[in-house]
Every structure is written in C-alpha cells, then in structure tokens.
Amino acid sequence: MFYAETLDNQLRFGDVVKGFVLATSAIEKPIMIRNEQHNYQVDINFPNLCVILSPCCTINEKTKNDGIIAISPLIPIWVSFFDNQYFKEDLLRINKKMEPKQAVSPEIWAQFSLEEQERRESEGISYALLEVFVYQKNDYFIDYALTNSKHESFTTNFFMINFRNNFKVDCKALKSKETLSEVKLLQLSANARKELRDKIADFYGRTPKEDKVLLVE
C-alpha cells in the first residue's frame, strides 16, 4: 500500500499538499558587488500539488514549528520510463534499488561494451534514477499524455518529485489545524515514507569518488 488509509492531523514527510506558491531565482553569474546593476530573474510558480520534504519531527516540534517547510512540486514523469519494460510494468520500481540490468532497457544494455557491463554488474544493486521518486496514481492526480521519440503515446496519472527541485516555504498558517485539513490531501504509508526517506538520504549522502580515497574507515 502506497498511501495511508487515514490522514494524521499534522504534516508529515512525503505528504501531498496543495495551495503553495514557489519562487526560483536565475542569475547569469554570481553577484559579487551588490550596488552594481545585474541581470537576474525570479520565476513564480503555482503548482497544483506538492510534496513535503521536511522531516516529520522537524515540522511538528512545538518549540520549532515556525511555518517553514521544505517542499517539492509534483511533476509529470519522464516518457523515457516507458522505454524500460521493467519500469513500464510497475513505475514504482523506480523508487527502489535494482539490478544493473533492470536499470536500462535490454536494447541499451546490449549497446554497452563487455567491460562496461561488467563494471555495472560489479556495483551490485543500487538506485537507477537517484534524483526522482514516483508517486502512485490516485484520484487527485489528473491524466496526461506523453509521446516518445518514436511517436508512441502513453496516458498516465503517475507523478514524481525531483530532489533537485525543492523550495523553502514560509507559511505561518501551517500552525493551524484548520489550515492543515485544507491543504493536506494524501499521506504516505509508513513503508512508502521509508522508501522516500531511504532514497533521498542516498541522494544527499553519496560520497564522491575523490573523497573515498581520502577517507579512512
């Protein structure tokens, strides 16, 4: 079960919520001198639905509940997911670790050299698409169509979040139980929340190759 049958009266990590405005700044280069004229852009986005990325305990500690949360918009899945039969059979497999051969289509695997296949197999079970987490279809998600490079069309209502696409939101009204009941639509089951926690921890917790040789166990 991906979603919990009942909702808590508090925000939890992984919750699907509505009603938030997100802002992204874009600059040509770092601004080193503030009193000079610079080119920059601020994009405002009002997504239909978002996902809470703040840990449950951080949100709900009474002494620290200041209305500030981390949030990520739910976005359409990539059409390339359907090129991999392993994903096509169950898109939620993207959220889990898998064998190297399962991470790509058989056609792509066959294009790898023998050395590359052996290298990948030596790495063992791991996440394939580390930066994304797929959300199970449900009545709150609208259907949409995707078309691949072969002009094949797919209709789905699975959505996902991208860990690189996260925002800070400051909303003092989140301290109100009434507001929570309005914005909170879905809550992950304990198992699904653990999958999200494990994957995002792996995304942020990876050790760079150049550091591995310097670190002593």
Output the pLDDT for position 61.
Answer: 58
Structural domains of the chain, count: 1
CA–CA distance, 141 with 18 (Å, rounded to integer): 12
Output the pLDDT for position 58.
Answer: 67
Q: Is 78 left (phi over 0), alpha (psi -120 to 50) or beta?
A: beta
Instruction: Specify if 112 maps to a domain.
Output: yes
pLDDT truncated to tens, each residue of the chain (217 aa)? 999 999 988 889 999 999 999 999 998 888 888 777 778 899 999 999 999 999 876 666 554 557 889 999 999 999 999 999 999 999 999 999 999 999 998 889 999 999 999 999 998 999 999 999 999 999 999 999 999 888 889 899 999 999 999 999 998 888 788 888 899 999 999 999 999 999 999 999 877 777 776 776 6
Q: How far is CA 195 from the centre of its chain?
A: 11
Angle, CA 110 vertex, CA 109 and CA 116 arms, to 5°? 65
Instruction: Specify if 47 maps to a domain.
Output: yes
Instruction: Specify if 28 maps to a domain.
Output: yes
CA–CA distance, 65 with 11 (Å, rounded to integer): 11
Output the pLDDT for position 63.
Answer: 44
Instruction: Specify if 142 maps to a domain.
Output: yes
Domain that holds residue 25: 16-205
Do residues 49 and 73 make contact, with C-beta atoms less than 8 angstroms apart? Answer: yes
Output the pLDDT for position 177.
Answer: 80
Instruction: Specify if 192 maps to a domain.
Output: yes
Do residues 192 and 9 make contact, with C-beta atoms less than 8 angstroms apart? Answer: no
Do residues 193 and 53 make contact, with C-beta atoms less than 8 angstroms apart? Answer: no
Instruction: Specify if 10 maps to a domain.
Output: no
